Amino acid sequence: MKETSVVMAGFGGQGVMSIGKILAKAAIHEGKEVTWLPSYGPEMRGGTANCTVVIADGPIGSPLVKFPDMAIVMNKQSIDKFEPELRPGGLIVVNASLIDRALARRDLVAVHVAANALAEEAGAPRSANIAILGAFMARAGDLVSIAAVEHALAETFAGKPPSLLEQNLAIFRAGLCAGAPA
């Protein structure tokens, strides 16, 4: 059985919980099993938040993961915390707008994308999370399809002005391009 874990981390308010939910909804659209687990303990008090999403073809054991397969890190504290924990060969997507350091490890697949800059260019500075989700999806292999994530995005913005969904889909696609291998 294939089981993949993804950690998403950043400041509270950067929207990491939201992109975790979007990824989880996409997994449901594909008929997969999924767990979404937020950090809710004292670690939240430092102003950083994270969630762990596990996606699998069959029943999921632990929703809590010590060595994740993939990570999206939105700020400096998050890369410091999760870079050492990733499995060898794992994927790390780094928000280059707020993190200016290179990776310490050589055994990871790293994608640096200026998520805040991308979102600001599109006129929606609060959607940096959607931009980095796009970059992540460019490298996430067969975790979930891009169509399923776009479907989940549409679900998430249902009931809001349609222009908001269009703007976020555009940012998501800009992230996809920015994250694609050169």
Contact 61, 37 (CB under 8 A): no
**Nearer CB in complex with other proteins: 61/162:** 61
From 17, 89, 85, 1, select the one nearest 53 (Cα to Cα). 17
> Which residues are near other proteins by CB under 8 A?
21, 24-25, 28, 33-38, 40-41, 59-67
Residue 12 Cβ vs other proteins, minimum distance, rounded to whole Å? 16
Residue 121 Cβ vs other proteins, minimum distance, rounded to whole Å? 31
Residue 18 Cβ vs other proteins, minimum distance, rounded to whole Å? 12
**Nearer CB in complex with other proteins: 65/144:** 65
CA distances for 5 relative to 12, 60, 132, angstroms: 21, 10, 17
**Nearer CB in complex with other proteins: 9/99:** 9
User: Dihedral of CA 33/48/138/149: which sign?
Assistant: positive
